[in-house]
Structure formats: C-alpha cells, structure tokens
C-alpha cells in the first residue's frame, strides 16, 4: 500500500495542533469572521452603528451558548429525522441494495486481487451514495422551511439559532448513520459471500497415498497448485491474493476455505536510510520513473536500504518476527529471464560497539506486487569475531529495543526499489470486521463534513444554490492537488475559462489559444482570480481524500488508531467551526423579526 506521508504519532500531532494549528485557525476564523461582519454591517449602517450591531450579535452568541438547551436540540433533531423520513431518504439504501445486486455486472470477476476489488467497490459505492444523501438532505431542509414559512413556527418558539443548526445537523447525521450502518452490514456480508469459494482436488483411486503435489479445480475463475509436506499438510500457492491450506485425509485431499483475503495487518514501520554504492549514506537512485515514490539501490555494490525498527523485544516476538516486504525490481539487462533477482537481508545491531554486529546473510528472491513474507526466527546465525555462531536475535542484535534490517541487491546491474512503507514488521493481525467498520467511520466523517457544510450554506442560500455550493466544496475537497496544480500552473490547460474555451474549440492542452493577445490576457486574468479563490478554498476546505481510509481496508492494513484519532478530531473541529459559522448566518438572517 502506498503511504505518501508518514503518519505522525497521535500525541505529537495533537500537541502540535493544540498549541499551534488549532489556536491559529480559531483566531483566523474569529478575526476574519468579525472583520467580514463588521464590513457588511458598516456598509449598511455606518461604522459606528455597524460596530455596535456586530457587538450585539457577539453578545447574543455568548448568551445563546450559555442558555443552550439539550432538550430543545433533541427536539430539533427529531424534527429533522421525521422530515428526512418524510422525504423518503430510505430510497438511498434501496439504491445501494440494487447496486449490490447488480454488482456482478461491473466487477471484474477474474481480477488478480478480488478482495481488493470487492472492498474498494463497496466502500466507494457507500461513500458516494451517502455523500449524495447528505448533500440533498442538508441543503434543502432549511430553504424549504423558509419557502414554506414553516420556519416561522420554529423561530417564534424559544429555540435558539444554535439549537436549530445543531438539531438539523444531528438529525441528518442520525439518519445518515443508520443508513450507513445498514450499508456497512450489507457490504460486509456481500464481500464475504462474494469471495467465498471452494476448490476440490480429485485424485484417481489408489493415488491418494502417493500424491504430494497437484492442482485444484478451477473455481471463481482461478485455481491453485499445491505441495504437501511429509505430514500430509501443505499450502497452495498464492493466487488471486489468497491461499488455501491443504490436508491429506483418508477420503482424499481436502482443500480448506481461502485465507489471506480479508486481513487487517498491523505493521510496525521503521525509518529508512539509503546507502549509495560506496556504502555512504545517500538518497537512493532514480531509475527514470516518473513517479518518485521509490528510490533504488544498485545490485552487486555496497548500496543498501536500512530500516531501523524500535520496540523489538522478546516479549513482543517470542519466536521471531514476520518481515514483510513489497519491493520493486529494475533490470538494466534481461539476465536470466526465468530467475528472479536475488537480494540479501542482514539484521544489524544499531550499536557500533556491539560484539555481534550483523547476522549472516538471509538470501531471498525479489517478488514484485505481492506482500513477500519472510519469517525471521529468534535463533539465527550471526557473525561474531569473524566466526558464525547461533545467537538469540534480541540478545545479540538489538540495542535498546532497536534493530536494523539491511537489504541489498545481489545481482550486478540490477536494482531494487523501495519506499519507507514497503518493508515492515508484522506486529499483529487485527480483526478484519473492526477494520471494516473503521473504514466506514471514515465515510461517516465525510458525511459529517458534507452535512455540516450543507446546513451552513442552507442558512443563507436557497436550496439549489446551497446544493451547488456544497457540491463545489465536495469537488474541491476531492481534488485539492489538482486545483493547487492548476493555480500554480504546473498543470497545463489553464484555469476554468481557458479550459472551457479549449473544450469548445477542441484545442489540446499544450497549444496556444487561437485568440488575439488582449483576449488571452483577459481570460488569463479571470482565471487567475478564479484560481486564487479556489486555491484558498482548497487549503481551507476539508480534503475528503484524507478521510478516505478505503485503501487501508482494501489492501488489508489496519487503520492505525492514531490516524483514526486524527481524523475524528479534525472532523470534530470542522463540525464545531462550521456550525458556529452557520449559527451566525442564521442569527443575522431576517426571519420573522
């Protein structure tokens, strides 16, 4: 799985956010909110009157917060729930079920990684449906009340604007959560049943006893080969991202259900340091790939990639540990086509003064695009004073719980490509179902953001306009890098106006516009303004991609608690700030006054 950025430790992030980011954000929002309010008010009433009007609003806000009533908020919440049900919101769930039923039309049943495909599909389908649901629910509710004047029956009651806003948000969130929970359940069973399959192995009579290898039947568009050990047990090869255990019995050879498809690996990640071909610390080589996620080390030289892992103790790994790697290979010459590129692993003591500095070479053959597992036993051979002897891994090769894993490429002229997240120690396996639920929590957070923004926009815009504004926030939230790239000019094709002209005239991205200079200048100026606004939006608005944890679930990695914690806090922060903004908008709106 690709990890572009290291996930910081939760408390480090929290403290930094608490000390720096959050106060700065609160200050900026408060200051600019006050400034904008003052300017609008001053424009209408003059500076002095405007100032007093703003002060009155702020004082009223403090009063509203002090007199906030949970009972009234719950009442508004129930109102929102009833309204949602009246608007037949359950159709969204019906659509979801229909999509699940027809999923077979769209899913590639012969995929090499069916688990990833199924999980991505259900999470993405749920994500989009729920966001659409939240969009339509949240943006039309208040505007409809204004249009039908039912808002008057609410504001004439002792209900405060904050309670109205919170009530709407919580009400829609309650409905959305129920639907999302149902989707989660249906998806879970859909995935499990979709991936369930069984292979057979038929052996002619009289050959069961002697059969040690073979091939399974083709089921779910794939088959496996397997080998049995002397004890009559064995495993199939890894095909379509999973394997089966195989047992010889008196009745024949039994192939058990699949394993390895639905996982939640808990990786322990280390810090990566590259060494160049002369053995000095460096940064790895770029072999010409456009995507620079991985750096490469040259084979047959001293170039190496070294990971340093912490908390490597005997308590955690009494028998040894599983080292998993997903590295790439780059060949400068074909070599032996039928053989993979060889590499070596050395376990190194980080303490340069240690008696036992390094283990003996652990050779391997690189396998691309699969998670290659290597079990490192607790007792292994290491080099001490020039001699090879058996040592205890944790006694001889770790220092203060730290252990280094050094990987080299053995074949000259060939390269291994690695990124920090490509090699890790398998710490544990978390329950898949809980990881699946955590994936849905990510979707829930996105729904919270959409609902909050939708309600906020609906406090001062009409339904359709609020919907477009919220949709724009969603689009900006899904494509922030693209927007920043266009704004900075690193993506060809110009801004919205220029792109529209190129679409209509079918001009490609790199040619000049076929317009007079003054026309081009006007277009570019317009686009500059557009893009600056959009860039500000991209930096302020939530990045929905960040909240999307579907890849973790699909690739079988546990969603780290730190990550989930960060998402929850950020979601909460957005909820609080945007709700307050919605409150001020609603409070300053002329409604039955």
CB nearer to another protein: give 252 or 551.
551
CB nearer to another protein: give 12 or 368.
368
Q: Is the dihedral of CA 311, 313, 318, 319 positive or negative?
A: positive
CB 428 → another protein: shortest distance, Å? 26
Helix (H, G, I), strand (E, B) or coil at 236: strand
CB nearer to another protein: give 74 or 287.
287
CB nearer to another protein: give 117 or 408.
117
Residues at the contact surface with another protein, assessed by CB under 8 A: 2, 102, 105-108, 111-113, 116-117, 120, 218, 290-291, 293, 328-329, 331, 334, 337-338, 340-341, 366-369
CB nearer to another protein: give 105 or 518.
105
CB 445 → another protein: shortest distance, Å? 23
CB nearer to another protein: give 169 or 408.
408
Sort strands 225-228 and 403-409 into parallel, antiparallel or unpaired.
Answer: unpaired
Helix (H, G, I), strand (E, B) or coil at 456: helix
- Tokens representing 452 are 């909050």
The DSSP line for 140-201 is: HHHHHHHHHTHHHHHHTSS--HHHHHHHHHHHHHHHHHHHHHHHHHHHHHHHHHHH------
Measured between alpha carbons, how far is 444 from 172 in angstroms, rounded to an integer? 12
CA–CA–CA angle 590, 592, 593 (5° rounding): 70
* Phi and psi torsions of 351, nearest 5°: -85, 110
CB nearer to another protein: give 369 or 433.
369
The DSSP line for 67-136 is: T--HHHHHHHHHHHHHHHHHTTTTHHHHHHHHHHHTHHHHS-TT-S-HHHHHHHHHHHHHHHHHHHHHHH
CB 290 → another protein: shortest distance, Å? 6
How much of the chain is in helix, strand and coil states, percent to nearest 5? 50, 20, 30
CB 105 → another protein: shortest distance, Å? 4
Report whether 219 contacts 205 (CB < 8 A): no
Which residues lie across from 234 on neighbouring strands?
A: 228, 246
CB nearer to another protein: give 179 or 550.
550
Using only C-alpha atoms, the chain has a radius of gyration, in whole angstroms, of 30
CB 247 → another protein: shortest distance, Å? 26
Measured between alpha carbons, how far is 211 from 203 in angstroms, rounded to an integer? 8
CA 113 to the chain's CA centroid? 18
CB nearer to another protein: give 66 or 337.
337
CB nearer to another protein: give 79 or 125.
125
CA–CA–CA angle 482, 465, 140 (5° rounding): 115
CB 120 → another protein: shortest distance, Å? 7
CA–CA–CA angle 144, 149, 153 (5° rounding): 115
CB 372 → another protein: shortest distance, Å? 12
CB 501 → another protein: shortest distance, Å? 16
CB 571 → another protein: shortest distance, Å? 26
What are the start-end ranges of the H helices in 489-543? 496-505, 517-540
CB nearer to another protein: give 52 or 128.
128
CB 474 → another protein: shortest distance, Å? 14
Residue with tokens 């890790």: 424
CB 291 → another protein: shortest distance, Å? 5
The CA distances from residue 483 to 4, 532, 582, in Å, are 19, 10, 26
Report whether 245 contacts 256 (CB < 8 A): yes
């Amino acid at each position: 799985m690709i990890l572009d950025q290291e996930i910081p430790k939760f408390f480090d992030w929290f403290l930094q956010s608490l000390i720096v980011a959050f106060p700065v954000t609160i200050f900026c929002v408060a200051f600019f909110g006050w400034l904008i309010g003052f300017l609008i008010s001053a424009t209408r009433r003059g500076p002095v009157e405007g100032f007093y009007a703003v002060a009155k609003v702020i004082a009223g806000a403090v009063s509203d917060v002090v007199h906030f009533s949970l009972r009234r908020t719950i009442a508004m919440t129930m109102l929102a729930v009833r309204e949602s049900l009246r608007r037949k919101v359950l159709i969204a769930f019906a659509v979801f079920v229909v999509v699940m039923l027809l999923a077979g039309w769209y899913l590639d049943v012969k995929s090499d990684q069916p688990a990833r495909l199924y999980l991505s599909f259900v999470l993405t389908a749920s994500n989009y449906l729920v966001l659409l649901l939240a969009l339509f629910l949240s943006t039309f509710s208040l505007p409809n009340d204004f249009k039908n004047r039912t808002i008057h029956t609410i504001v004439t009651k002792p209900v405060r604007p904050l309670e109205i806003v919170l009530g709407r948000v919580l009400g829609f969130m309650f409905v959305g959560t129920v639907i999302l929970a149902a989707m989660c359940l249906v998806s879970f069973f859909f995935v499990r049943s979709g991936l369930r399959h069984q292979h057979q192995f038929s052996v002619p009579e009289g050959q069961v006893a002697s059969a040690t290898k073979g091939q399974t039947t083709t089921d779910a568009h794939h088959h496996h080969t397997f080998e049995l050990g002397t004890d009559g047990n064995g495993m199939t090869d890894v095909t379509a991202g999973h394997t089966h255990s195989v047992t010889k019995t008196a009745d024949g050879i039994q192939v058990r259900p699949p394993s390895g498809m639905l996982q939640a690996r808990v990786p322990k990640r280390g810090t990566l340091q590259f060494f160049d071909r002369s053995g000095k610390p460096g940064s790895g080589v770029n072999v010409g790939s456009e995507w620079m996620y991985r750096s490469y080390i040259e084979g047959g030289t001293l170039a190496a990639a070294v990971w340093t892992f912490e908390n490597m103790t005997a308590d955690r790994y009494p028998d040894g540990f599983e080292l998993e790697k997903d590295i790439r290979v780059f060949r400068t010459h074909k070599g032996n086509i039928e053989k993979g590129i060889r590499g070596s692993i050395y376990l190194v003591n980080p303490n340069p003064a240690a008696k036992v500095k390094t283990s003996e070479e652990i050779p391997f053959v690189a396998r691309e695009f699969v998670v290659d597992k290597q079990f490192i036993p607790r007792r292994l051979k290491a080099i001490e004073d020039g001699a090879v002897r058996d040592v205890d891994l944790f006694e001889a090769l770790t220092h203060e719980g730290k252990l280094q894993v050094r990987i080299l490429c053995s074949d000259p002229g060939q390269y291994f490509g690695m990124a920090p997240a490509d090699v890790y120690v398998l710490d544990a396996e978390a329950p898949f179902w809980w990881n699946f639920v955590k994936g849905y929590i990510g979707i829930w957070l996105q729904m919270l953001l959409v609902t909050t923004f939708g309600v906020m926009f609906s406090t001062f815009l009409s339904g359709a306009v609020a919907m477009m504004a919220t949709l724009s926030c969603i689009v900006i939230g899904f494509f922030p890098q693209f927007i920043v790239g266009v704004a900075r000019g690193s993506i060809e094709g110009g801004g919205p106006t220029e792109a529209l002209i190129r679409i209509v005239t079918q001009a490609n991205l790199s040619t000049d516009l076929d317009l007079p200079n003054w026309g081009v200048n006007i277009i570019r100026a317009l686009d500059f303004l557009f893009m600056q606004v959009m860039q500000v939006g991209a930096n302020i608005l939530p990045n929905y991609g960040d909240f999307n944890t579907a890849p973790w679930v699909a690739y079988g990695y546990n969603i780290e608690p730190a990550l989930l914690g960060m998402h929850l806090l950020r979601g909460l922060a957005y909820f609080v700030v945007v709700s307050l903004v919605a409150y001020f908008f609603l409070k300053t709106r002329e409604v039955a006054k």
